Amino acid sequence: MSKEVFVIEHINQHSYIEARSTAEEIDRLFYYDGQDLGNRYHEQATVFRLWAPLAAEVRLVRYEQEEESGKEMIMERSEKGTWTAKLDGDQDGLVYTYKVKSNEQWNEVVDPYARAVTVNGEKGVVVNLMSTNPENWSTEKPQHSSVMDTIIYELHIRDASIHPESGMVHKGKYLGLAETGTTGPTGMETGLDYIKSLGVTHVQLLPMFDYATVDEADLDLLQYNWGYDPNHFNAPEGSYATDPFEPKTRIKEMKQMIQSFHDQGLRVIMDVVYNHVYSVEDSSFNKLVPGYYFRYHNDQLVNGTGVGNDTASERMMMRKFIVDSVSYWAHEYHLDGFRFDLMGIHDVETMNQVRQALDDIDPSIILLGEGWDLHTTLPADQKANQKNASLMPRIAQFNDYFRDSLKGNTFDRTQKGFISHYPGLEENIKKGVCARGYDHTATFTSPSQVVTYAEAHDNHTLWDKLQITNKELPPSIRKRMHRLASAILLTSQGIPFLHAGQEFMRTKSGEENSYKSPDIINQLDWRRSAEYAEDIEYIKGLITLRKTYPSFRLESYQLIYQNLNWIEAPANVIAYRLSGQPNELVVVYNSNPWEVEVNLPLKGDWSVLVDSEKAGIEDIAVYKASSVNVSEISTLILKKND
């Protein structure tokens, strides 16, 4: 008798095995590598396959519209712990769940591989995905020759359009971001047209899979959440759809939004959250194979995520689920990138398998994540964090070291940074400019592994941080600090990342963690954008400059060391020369509240491209002197005229 047959017979006799104590044995005996988990729709028949190796019995439950109890069909035990059933005929629109018997108890669960769900994700739905494609659905993507050309703009779907003066019809919806020709106060562009006008290359959207904390059945309620509370990983969130009760609507409208971005030359990154589930007790994973999908220590759930549980990506079927899910989104929705929330919870091997799976679909898909060193039960050398970046080539990570050096420690609200004239940070900024992190913690092997940023959706916005750390200063001075920070990150090596609204000094009224705050806090304020139009133009100019000069986008540390040379400068000033085509450049960041003088490295004419007021590729002024004066709290960028 084989070991697998013995285990199955034991399961049938005793109904339940404690999964977390036998995870390695389950992986060895029951790892299923097929690509047909979930339901596979065909017009002639739909086949269901569920992985539940410890179950004594499994049934497929079919529901008619508005029916409270469904019709049950016994599923057959199949290979490697899977159960199968087949329904003949066209099952498009069929509502279904599974009933699983473990430990003499029956649990009803939603298919973890479900690609469509009913309102609030209460049941799975079979759909003909071809029927969800919009009319202009195309696999053609905007051209993107190198990952180093990437400029990311992070955005929450609802925030973009919900403002009363956004000019968008479908406020708070996928379709709001699909609208073009929208204008706000003073006739300024809003929404998709506005984002395109900035010059960014990728829009990173906060979670848009089905999440738990917004009631889709009552959208008249004032509800808000960022979405970092996963309910179903493979189905879109219904609150962003015009009709969350119709399962296909959310799929089709998300595709319409993505296609609209592509039509405007913008790529789309999806924020994914595989590191935990909203509720372990209610999760399909836990009901199907209790204990297997999560990490435990001393019979307690491990909580490195800080939200109650850590998924166990090192388990073979959890790893497979993550890889399968990302691959599905990339293929079916034509997505161009994935941002892994709390990536440090996952293991290195899982992330490398995700990278390989995406390469098989489209090597230009970008993969990035939060590589924090989190307190979970993985061995240190297996954590997908900054310390192990060298083990995960072509996976980028956020550079919190540079962020905190620029504006002050994120978790110490009163601490100042370089832009606020905090002394002694010159070497930190130099490392950030070269796309380096902490020497003793980060093992980046390429600038393409480094995401450079000053703010993101969580914690204080840069403007709010400056209001706290420099409350004694007038707004005009804080604006100079803010511009200096944005100029530094957009002219540094690595991959620049902007939080939506950063270009017009976005404020959340000082609220640090606005994940469930009302729209008045989180919305993109299109009236404020009109008031700060000059600051937006400044950011646009910096983006144009970055795109025009390849020396800001060097692809290796060797090229950086060959082409970037530091210039002697006063305290609290960073100055360097960038060699290369089409021109030699000199870049100076002055955080002092006074003017400084910096010597130029070469004789001849130097044109100013960026100063405290303007930025771009057009000459602002020409210097013929051997040195330049740099105004207080500002950036100065010059090009050498041959």
Say which residues have a Cβ less than 8 Å from residue 86's Cβ, sequence separation at least 6. 45, 46, 47, 48
Q: What is the pLDDT of residues 606-624, one digit of tens each?
A: 999 999 999 999 999 999 9
Distance CA 593, CA 452 (A): 25
**Can you give the pLDDT at residue 7?**
52
Q: Compute the average pLDDT of residues 316-327.
A: 98
Distance CA 343, CA 398 (A): 10
**Can you give the pLDDT at residue 12?**
45
**Can you give the pLDDT at residue 68?**
77
- Asked if 546 contacts 578 with a C-beta cutoff of 8 angstroms, the reply is no
Range of weakest confidence among 56-65, 487-496, 565-574:
56-65
Burial degree of 601 (CB within 10 A; 0-12, 13-18, 19+) = middle
- Asked if 127 contacts 42 with a C-beta cutoff of 8 angstroms, the reply is no
**Can you give the pLDDT at residue 18?**
57
Distances (CA, A) of 65 to 108, 116, 229: 18, 15, 28
**Can you give the pLDDT at residue 3?**
46
Radius of gyration of the chain (CA): 26
Range of weakest confidence among 63-67, 234-238, 376-380:
63-67
Which positions are annotated as active-site residues? 341, 370
Q: What is the pTM of this model?
A: 0.96
Distance CA 445, CA 614 (A): 34
Range of weakest confidence among 22-31, 108-117, 341-350:
22-31
pLDDT band at 6 (very low <50, low <70, confident <90, very high): very low
Would you give the distance in Å from CA 25 to the centre of its chain?
34
Mean pLDDT value across the chain: 95
Distance CA 86, CA 202 (A): 41
Distance CA 208, CA 234 (A): 10
**DSSP element (H, E) containing 159:** helix 157-161
**DSSP element (H, E) containing 426:** helix 426-433
Distance CA 51, CA 55 (A): 9
pLDDT at residue 9 is higher than 60? no
pLDDT at residue 19 is higher than 90? no
Q: What is the pLDDT of residues 39-76, one digit of tens each?
A: 999 999 999 999 999 999 999 999 987 677 899 999 99
Three-class SS of 356-408: HHHHHHCCCCEEEECCCCCCCCCCHHHECCHHHHHHCCCCEEECHHHHHHHHC
pLDDT at residue 552 is higher than 80? yes
Distance CA 55, CA 70 (A): 20
Three-class SS of 474-535: CHHHHHHHHHHHHHHHHHCCCEEEEECCHHHCCCCCCCCCCCCCCHHHHCCCHHHHHHCHHH
Structure tokens at 214: 């917004």
Structure-token match 């139009």, residue found: 533
140-146 own/partner pairs: CB under 8 Å, 24+ apart: 140/262, 141/262, 141/267, 141/334, 141/336, 141/362, 141/364, 142/201, 142/262, 142/265, 142/266, 142/267, 142/336, 144/201, 144/267, 144/336, 144/364, 146/553, 146/555
Give me the sign of the Cα torsion angle 506, 512, 515, 516.
negative
**Can you give the pLDDT at residue 440?**
75
**Can you give the pLDDT at residue 433?**
98
pLDDT at residue 188 is higher than 60? yes
**Can you give the pLDDT at residue 22?**
85
**Can you give the pLDDT at residue 201?**
98
DSSP codes joined into one string, 312-357: -TTSHHHHHHHHHHHHHHHHHH---EEEETTGGGSBHHHHHHHHHH
